[in-house]
Structure 1
Amino acid sequence: MKTLNRELERYLSIRRGLGYKLNTDERILRRFIEFMEQEEAAHISTGCFLRWKEAFGHANTQTWSRRLTVVRIFAQWMHGIDPRHEVPPQSLIPGHVRRSRPYIYSEEEIKMIVEAAAELPSRNGIRPLTYSTFFGLIAVTGMRISEAVSLNVADVDLENGVVAVRKGKLGKERLLPVSTDTAERLVAYAVERDRLNESTPSAFFISDHGERLDACAARYNFAIVCQRVGLRPVQKFFRHGRGPRIHDLRHTFAVRTMLNWYRDGKDPAQEMIKLVTYLGHEKPAHTYWYIEAAPELLELASRRAEESAAREVES
């Protein structure tokens, strides 16, 4: 079993060196290997994966399809080292993985989330200050949660209102100009954070303990806030429950930006490259997906296409 853990470290190191973000993959693989240790299984097998799935607990098909893919890639790596490792077939979990339709927050819901985050309990006042600012920044910039937690103090130009994303998807960097109101809120957060914290942090967003904010903790606190404002059902035993996600703040930003283009009479084809760049998407198709995912956007796009076709006929 030591060999599996040693090879996992090497596997993660090499793939991260290629630009992959593997935090979720790492958690999945470590839990799978822990299960193998409990079974005293020396080699990966389809049967072992199925028993792990049975013991793991409830999750939807999409989630298990994702976990299977993660285990399969690692199993392929291990099979190349030792053929006794079996690669579970992709057909083990049938069904095509589909992107979930995003939840689009109303302005009032975002306001409730930020205000509820500002009421979170804290031992020194940093937790509510951090999360209200953190959720608000994602809502007005569309940043990924991984990008927001990775921000350092030096990445946020408080004087010029520019946020530098150093650790974007696949290692890409980009600059995000923010509005005057957002810049002022970030300045206020930085001042109060430094006043409450005993030492000068390198991370821009910190926890009550003065450490960099963790993505898992951010998702947990977001779930708690959503339960308090009625966007998720209240859960026992500190469970997240089901409902709108923090990542849907990014979706909301993208959809509302596009909606404003149509309402202002702008040409989405000309504006799209700006949004693609701002969001840090690898391909424009990833941004155009929002048109199909949001019914109101699809209706506006269809109407615009019909009007354009009618003008061409008239001319």
Structure 2
Amino acid sequence: MNTLRQAVGEYLALRRGLGFKLREAGKGLPEFVTFLERHHAPYITQALAVTWAQQPSDVQPAYWARRLSFVRGFARYRSATDPRTQIPPPGLLPFRAKRARPYLYSEQEIGRLLQAALQMPSRYERGQLRPWVYYCLFGLLSVAGLRLGEARNLELQDVDLKAAVLTIRGAKFGKTRLVPLHASTCAVLADYLARRQRHWAGRAVSAYVFVSSRGNRLDAAEIHRTFYALSRQIGLRGPADRRGPRLHDLRHRFATYSLVQWYRCGQDPEKRLPLLSTYLGHVHVADTQWYLEGCPELMREAMRRLQQRWEARP
């Protein structure tokens, strides 16, 4: 039988081969094995797992629960070859996860954001493409449901306007997926790419779709700073507000809008969740299920459908 040290290496290799990046687990599980070795423990026990997970003592319980969760996954794997293994049950270190409350943009707010992007001043010749970069980037986030990192990583080879498809490579869980585009989105992208080509003609530029005035990939922090400035300019947040609508909320808005449209077409959103989950690049449908919660439009559509059913009864 392999040692715990060998087993944890095999487990991490297996999970990474399935597309999981395991940044926390990849660092934490070898540390957990070292902890077991210091305690001369030849197998995983629940008591030692909990003791290790609750280190350090001055952090949030959510951190402890995450540490115990990846020990639990490894323990399940190890139990197949070592029946002495104790698997910590779920809920042993309970905590209530707090998600940031999403902001549901209106069509008018998105329109104002895009127009504000187009009106950004560009004092230098190198920066003349900048308004179009942000106009197209923010617009694509709103209509395609991409993560910001996915949009930043898009290269020219990933955009097939003839097929109306984006290829998303190396996404959150190392997966590659195809994202279909509406004809109107293709038209905006085609216009932007033509402007990009003219702007950079004869000069060095990276292969990324969205580039800075220096020709390299857009910096994530700069994108957020630009978004915050524009959102204050159009009144989405106050001049001194540290919190407010986020770029990621455009993805949430895309998901909820898709569900509302299915409702209005008489389709069951819950049955179609796997489709939306695949489109968004979620590994688990439960991650997409969250979009069913807390959306007033969905609640109104559900009540409207229920009322129609009652009115149709004899």
Q: TM-score range by the shorter chain?
A: 0.5 to 0.7
Q: Whole-Å Cα distance in 2 between the matches of residues 271 and 193 of structure 1?
A: 37
Residue from 138, 148, 159 that aligns with 1:135: 138
Q: Does 1:165 align with 2:165?
A: no
CA distance 1:275–1:206, change in 2 (3 Å): same
Distance in 2 between the 1:99 and 1:146 partners?
A: 19
Two-structure CA RMSD over aligned residues (Å): 3.6
Query: C-alpha separation between the residues in 1 aligned to 2:137 and 2:22?
Result: 22
Following the alignment from structure 1 to structure 2, what is the Cα–Cα distance between the partners of residues 173 and 152?
A: 14
Q: Return 5+ residue gaps in structure 2 as ranges.
A: 1-12, 25-53, 72-93
Q: Tell me the distance in 2 between the aligned counterparts of 1:289 and 1:104.
A: 14
Is 1:108 the equivalent of 2:108? yes
Q: 1:210 — aligned with what? A: 215
Quote the Cα distance in structure 2 between the aligned partners of 1:259 and 1:295.
10
Q: Which of 210, 225, 238 matches 1:233?
A: 238
Query: Retained in 2: the 8 A contact 1:113–1:229?
Result: yes
1:222-255 Cα shifts (integer Å, max 9, x gaps): 11110110101114xxxx7211000000011111
Please list, as runs of the form range in 1=range in 2, the aligned pairs for 1:28-107 lying within 5 A after superposition: 96-107=96-107
Give the C-alpha shift of residue 266 in structure 1: 2.2
Partner amino acid, structure 2, of 1:273: P
Residue 22 and residue 95 in structure 1: after superposition, are their counterparts in 2 closer, same or farther (change >3 A)? same
Offset at residue 106 of structure 1 (A): 0.5
Q: Determine if contact 2:132/2:192 at 8 Å carries over to the other structure.
A: yes
Deviation of 1:285 after TM superposition, in Å, equals 2.0
* Count of residue correspondences: 251
Q: Does 1:286 align with 2:287?
A: yes
Instruction: Compare CA radii of gyration and give the structure with the larger one.
Output: 2
Amino acid at match of 1:216: A
Structure 1 stretches of 5 or more lacking a match?
Answer: 1-13, 26-45, 54-63, 77-93
Distance 1:65 1:145, change over 3 A: farther
The separation in 1 between residues aligned to 2:66 and 2:110, in whole angstroms, is 37
Alignment of 1:14-29 (within 5 A): 19=19
When residues 17 and 146 of structure 1 are mapped into structure 2, their CA distance, relative to the original with a 3 A threshold, is farther
Query: Scaled by the length of structure 2, what TM-score is found?
Result: 0.67
Q: Deviations over 1:131-172 (max 9, x none)?
A: 110000010011011111111110011222211111222111
Q: Is this contact kept in 1: 2:205–2:216, CA < 8 A?
A: no
**How far did residue 199 of structure 1 move?**
2.1
What is the rounded CA distance, in whole Å, between the counterparts of 2:140 and 2:17 in structure 1? 29
Asked if structure 1 preserves the Cα contact closer than 8 Å seen for 2:65 and 2:95, the reply is no
Residue 215 of structure 1: how far off its partner (Å): 2.0
2:215 partner letter: G
Question: Is 2:150 the counterpart of 1:150?
Answer: no
CA distance in 2 between partners of 1:295 and 1:114 (Å):
25
Give the corresponding residue for 1:126. Answer: 129
Instruction: Please tell me the residue identity of whatever aligns with 1:149.
Output: R
Q: Please, what TM-score do these two structures have when normalized by structure 1?
A: 0.67
Residue deviations 1:87-145 (CA, integer Å, cap 9, x gap): xxxxxxx9633112311100000001111111223332122111110000010011011
Query: What is the CA deviation profile of residues 246-265 of structure 1, one whole-angstrom value per residue up to 9, with x for unaligned ones?
Result: 00000111111111111222
- Distance 1:47-1:144 versus aligned 2 partners, 3 A rule: closer
Percent identical among aligned pairs is: 40
**Counterpart residue type for residue 103 of structure 1:** Y
Query: Structure 1's 99 and 309: CA in aligned 2 closer, same or farther, altered over 3 A?
Result: farther
Separation of aligned partners in 2, 1:65 and 1:191: 51
SS in structure 2 of the partner of residue 268 of structure 1: coil
Contact between 1:233 and 1:242, CA under 8 Å: does it hold in 2? no
For 1:232 and 1:187, the matched residues in 2 are separated by 32
Match of residue 195, structure 2, among 177, 192, 195: 192
> Which secondary structure state, in structure 2, belongs to the residue aligned with residue 163 of structure 1?
strand
